[in-house]
Amino acid sequence: MASVCNIWRQAFSLAILTFVLAGCAGAIPQSNPPQRSATAAPPQRPYVAPPRPEPPRMVQGPSRELEAAIQSLGRSFNGEVGIAVHDIEQGWTVSWNGERFFPQQSVSKLWVALTVLDAVDRGQLNLNQNVRVTQDDFVVFHQPMRSQVGAGGYQTTLAYLLEQAMTRSDNLANDKMLWIAGGPDAVRSFFSRNDLEGLRFGPGERLLQSGIAGMEWQQRYSIGRRFYTARANVPASVRRSSMDRYIADPIDGATPIGMVRALGRLQRGELLSARSTQVVLLAMQRSRTGPQRLRAGVPDSWRFGHKTGTGQNFQGRTAGYNDVGIVTAPDGRSYAVAVLIGSTRVGIPERQRLMQAVTGQTVSHHLRRRSEMLSNRR
């Protein structure tokens, strides 16, 4: 009986030992993870939105109609003219005499404004700073501010000078602003720093206009009509040769292509801060000069900002009759346009019709391209 009991005790102990060892073995980590069931859910991945299709874009490049129209307008005009149209978004340009230098005249006020605003961006100037304009600052020709300057001078701000120069083409405001910014060398330095090609800047209003007339500047010419009197006494041969030299190689010249590319860079915000870019573009849109030039060819529903320039006339010949600007369609597409008439004897209405035709052809090109884009959507 004792032996039987011993046998059962040994069997029971062996069973308990087996159970314990099996439990311990189950607690040991396995070197291979268990295989996932074929029916188990796959791991979650982060959601990635499918790429959106790009909106339809206008056909690249200018239309043949626009190229032919610009060539025809330039070829048929009775005078020396340069024309350029530049798509600011796509970067293409069509032109007539696009690489030739033409007199800028008051178009160059735009570069003075940009030089001033660049100095504002760099903390060297402030548009709200006080400026005193005196009779010693008087220049020649168009200067509406002159009536505000009494014997004691006129107190204003740099912002006011910029507004008058850009919206009313005031020579006094512009020349005062130029010398505050550092003179002609400051403008040329602005060109150089920004790699602006095809642009020159002259010596300032006094020396520029007296030189075109074959005269040496004297400050007394700024009083009353003394400049006109002195100019009338210059021999005709001297005036003619001086004007010929100026037209052939204008010290303040610009190429139409250089002009529109610079306007494109201005619009894209590549030359000034966003705030200063807005200041100058809005001033161009408020311009009161030349309503029958480029502006007259732009529909009312489009935005337009520009700067005009008009040179001297001698014996029926004008040296510099210009308009440059930025036209923006209701859909936001912008074009820079320049018409620079270096020399002509035709009347003002014919010059203006040329300018209106250039903006009109630009608008027509845009509408054709937009129609093509909409057709491609269908």
**Average pLDDT estimate for 232-247:** 97
**CATH at 121:** 3.40.710.10
Residue 12's pLDDT is what?
A: 44
38 in a structural domain: no
Q: Confidence class of residue 8 from pLDDT cuts 50, 70 and 90?
A: very low
pLDDT attached to residue 372: 82
Confidence of residue 370 (pLDDT cuts 50, 70, 90): confident
In a domain, 114, yes or no: yes
Check pLDDT > 50 for residue 121.
yes
- Spell 216-243 as b/e; 16+ CB within 10 A means b: ebeeebbeeeebeebbeebeeeebeebb
Provide the pLDDT for residue 317: 96
Is 43 a member of any domain? Answer: no
Task: Report which residue type is found at 50.
Answer: P
The gap from C-alpha 7 to its chain's centroid, in whole angstroms, comes to 106
Per-residue burial over 323-347, b = 16 or more CB atoms within 10 Å of its CB, e = otherwise: bbbbbbbeeebbbbbbbbbbbbebe
Which domain range does residue 366 map to?
A: 64-377
pLDDT band at 279 (very low <50, low <70, confident <90, very high): very high
The DSSP secondary structure of 213-241, one letter per residue, reads TT----GGGGSTTHHHHHHHTS-HHHHHH
pLDDT (average), residues 327-352? 97
Under 8 Å between Cβ of 287 and 307: yes
Rounded mean pLDDT of the chain?
88
Q: Which residue has the higher pLDDT, 229 or 7?
A: 229
Q: Return the number of other C-beta atoms located less than 10 Å from residue 88's C-beta.
A: 20
| 141 domain residue, yes or no | yes
Arithmetic mean of pLDDT, 57-62: 66
Query: In the prediction, which pLDDT does 60 show?
Result: 72
pLDDT at residue 333, as a whole number: 96
Please state the domain count of the chain.
1
**pLDDT score recorded for residue 335:** 98
Q: Does 239 have pLDDT greater than 60?
A: yes
Q: Is the pLDDT of residue 246 over 90?
A: yes
- How many angstroms separate the Cα of 151 from the Cα of each of 52, 78, 146, 154, 270? 67, 47, 11, 9, 42
Quick check: is 8 in a domain?
A: no
29 domain-assigned = no
Q: Does the residue 15 lie in any domain?
A: no
371 pLDDT tier (thresholds 50, 70, 90): confident
Does the pLDDT of residue 46 top 50, yes or no?
no
Q: Is residue 21 part of a domain?
A: no
- pLDDT beyond 60 at 42: no
Q: What are phi and psi of 79, to 5 degrees?
A: 160, 175
Residues 152-173, mean pLDDT to the nearest whole number: 97
In this structure, of 199-208, 327-336, 365-374, the range with the lowest mean pLDDT score is 365-374
Quick one: pLDDT at residue 125? 98
Q: Given this model, what pLDDT does residue 156 score?
A: 97
Distance CA 106, CA 341 (A): 13
Say what percent of the chain tops pLDDT 90.
80
